[in-house]
Structure 1
């Protein structure tokens, strides 16, 4: 499969995972969306806000001019997969995409998630997969790796949301 096909498939997967997050959260009212289900957990709304912020960050990264990678454009993919799909590990959000402790309205957070996805799709033409970008939390990373990251990251939070909603339902 070529890198252009990879981009198309990765964006389709991201869109599907984002829709699944929304479907799982849809039955929750605003009060439940803002309820902490257990110790050291985000609320469903905080999780959705975090996902929206991270997808928006990726959309901007795809738009940044890159430079040719002097390595395989998929070199870090397995490392990212291992890191983000290890559901037994606990991670701390970088402050740039920390959702904060505010109260979120259901409609607002859903719109933010939709807007982040629309922005990443709008910027997909800038996603030259083997371009390298710098100044990311991962150091130098290709746009192909960024797309894999956001998929693994969003899958991780889908898994968390399922646990959160199950805890809220008791």
Structure 2
């Protein structure tokens, strides 16, 4: 009888630990642009969906960058995934951050929108004379974005469509 009690207590403890872990693990990406500001934004757009190499590249102005930032802070509809997806990228926003990491939104020709959060480079090995020998990158975090409004916004920004005034966050 005592063994059953121990197993029940262990099972309850495991379930409680897992429940706490799932509650504290971020389900959506969170961005802190005060401690890690945006330093560069580049958008690309495939003007011909059948020719992915024929692209228009733009650098948004500051108002557009501010708008991207304000939309990212309130981004919803992101679901973490492990797959990059093989569909052709038609539009993308590449955001470089101060710490060397990047955020990349890719609108695919299958109608999906992916967010790829690429960590900054990490030193694997360095010589004692200060010359850096090898770099490594941690695995990126990949999300599928199920937010039609934001997806339309990405395509509109990348294609050079009408832009809105940057939203001022309180």
Same fold (TM over 0.5): no
Greater Rg, structure 1 or structure 2?
Answer: 2
Per the normalisation by structure 1, the TM-score is: 0.27
Structure with the higher fraction of residues in strand conformation:
2
Per the normalisation by structure 2, the TM-score is: 0.27
More RCO (CA 8 Å, sep 6+): 1
Structure with the higher fraction of residues in helix conformation:
1
